[in-house]
Structure 1
Amino acid sequence: MRFLLIEDNRELALATRDRLTLDGHVVDHAADLATAQDYARTMSYDLVLLDIMLPDGDGRDFLAYLRDIRSDTPVIAVTARSEVSDKVGILDLGADDYISKPFDFAELEARCRAVLRRRAGTSSNTQRIGDVAFNRLGGTLTIENRIIELRNRELRLFELLADNPNVIFSKPKLVDRLFSFDEDVSENAIEVYVGRLRKHLAASNVSISTIRGLGYRLDIG
């Protein structure tokens, strides 16, 4: 998954980015509203972590901007304010959740998972896809009672395909979703991860099809 982290505290931003990167996510960091808006105009994100107090304005303005352009990207607001009215106002503006500073990283990760589950239309960490049981939290596929552990990139690629059935993803699009701006990778890397997933799925009724000239799609049956 590709996250946009909007946070002006550099130390907190780096720590948050490093923690989420360990989970296999790609994290772009913006330290102010102007940079965040530039990123949002050029990149598609699975989740936004939005600090409310920013050096060039109020994070709620960015949230309003997202909803004004009819973006349904999930947003978790990060706020130092503890008043109920502030939290209610953030949620009413269109935030999907909020977390108060200072926060524990385990709680942040759990809230991210919960928001992403809701977006995918499931309340459980385990999703049934054909005859495959996909455990997002554990990062595993279970096929014919055999548990297959996915590496981070494999997990995020399968997660992306599983959340968007019948959608064709081009190689450039997959590179954008799986790698950060500062990672120098070629589209051949996508072929490698697709190949690994195909081997994992060989004994199931789930497959990744190559749509010639367009990209890849997850198929069932």
Structure 2
Amino acid sequence: MRILLVEDELEMAAWLQRALAQSGFVPEHAKDAITAESMLHAASYDAVVMDLRLPDKHGLVLLREMRGRGDITPVLLLTAQGSLQDRVRGLNLGADDFLSKPFALEELEARLAALVRRSKGRPSPHLQCGSLNYDTESKAFILDGAVLHLTPREHAALAALIARARAPVEKHQLFLKVFEEDSEASPEAIEVVLHRLRKKLQGSDIQITTVRGLGYMLESISVEN
């Protein structure tokens, strides 16, 4: 199993590389986020072990960027003892597991093996468009690391749009997803739902675009400071 180890503490990294190699893993080391990004673009890995406290970029930012471009490689985060906030944010951003320092090598190896087993032959439960993440198992939308609170109809509309992110969804098809149990609703009622969704997405890099003649499309845009 090919593992990318993202760790800036060189002694810790060297120890982990030796230990993982002796256990049959194939570890490769990145000492900072920019090196990790380059390696992730150049090769595929079975899993990533990532320390959060990197010198050039926080690990959660690197994780968010990975998921934003559709990289579903399993990620195990190394966190400081008791850092509950980092663990919760990490899981919301698409991390697969976490381990608090100090840790036993045997536990790290067992968690890595389990991550890789779960990832083989199973699609990712996360759908991603820019900074918007949808967990299809928990049915939660996370925008910029925070839970996005939606009404049932808003949720149904956004779920249908993110399932086909960057591609248009026909208006009648979207209407049926949102109002399937309300036969008396007007087809134009979908506009009200989308108007409310657009207001909740304001200020983020996510927008719902009307594609003339084709329907509506969820896409990520660059946000200027």
TM-score bracket relative to the smaller structure: 0.5 to 0.7
Query: Once the two structures are superposed, what CA deviation does each residue of 1:38-81 show, in whole Å capped at 9, x if it has no partner?
Result: 10110111100000001112011111111011011000000115
Identical-residue share of aligned pairs (%): 43
Aligned to 1:43: 43
What does 1:77-156 align with in structure 2 at a 5 Å threshold? 77-120=77-120
Q: Distance between the aligned counterparts of 2:20 and 2:74, measured in 1?
A: 16
Aligned to 2:57: 57
Match for 1:84: what amino acid?
L
- Answer with 1 or 2: which has the greater Rg: 2
TM, length-normalised to structure 2: 0.52
Aligned to 1:24: 24
Contact 2:81 2:102 in 1 (8 A): no
Q: Distance between the aligned counterparts of 1:48 and 1:35, measured in 2?
A: 13
Gaps of 5+ in 2: 123-225
Q: Distance between the aligned counterparts of 1:86 and 1:13, measured in 2?
A: 21
2:3 is the counterpart of 1:3: yes
Q: Distance between the aligned counterparts of 1:116 and 1:78, measured in 2?
A: 17
Q: Distance between the aligned counterparts of 2:81 and 2:60, measured in 1?
A: 13
Match for 1:28: what amino acid?
E
Match for 1:104: what amino acid?
A
- Superposition deviation, residue 84 in structure 1: 2.2
Q: Distance between the aligned counterparts of 2:44 and 2:120, measured in 1?
A: 16
Specify the SS of the correspondent of 1:88.
Answer: helix
Specify the SS of the correspondent of 2:71.
Answer: coil
Match for 1:53: what amino acid?
R
Q: Distance between the aligned counterparts of 1:45 and 1:24, measured in 2?
A: 15
- Superposition deviation, residue 85 in structure 1: 2.4
- Superposition deviation, residue 86 in structure 1: 2.0
Contact 2:52 2:77 in 1 (8 A): yes
Which of 59-68 and 77-86 deviates more? 77-86
Q: Distance between the aligned counterparts of 1:84 and 1:34, measured in 2?
A: 26
What is the aligned-residue RMSD (CA, Å)? Answer: 1.4
Contact 2:79 2:86 in 1 (8 A): no
Aligned to 1:67: 67
Q: Distance between the aligned counterparts of 1:54 and 1:26, measured in 2?
A: 22
What is the number of equivalent residue pairs in this alignment? 122
Classify 1:81/1:90 alpha carbon distance in 2 versus 1 (closer, same or farther; 3 Å).
farther
Match for 1:95: what amino acid?
A
- Superposition deviation, residue 121 in structure 1: 5.5
Specify the SS of the correspondent of 1:53.
Answer: coil
Q: Distance between the aligned counterparts of 1:121 and 1:41, measured in 2?
A: 22
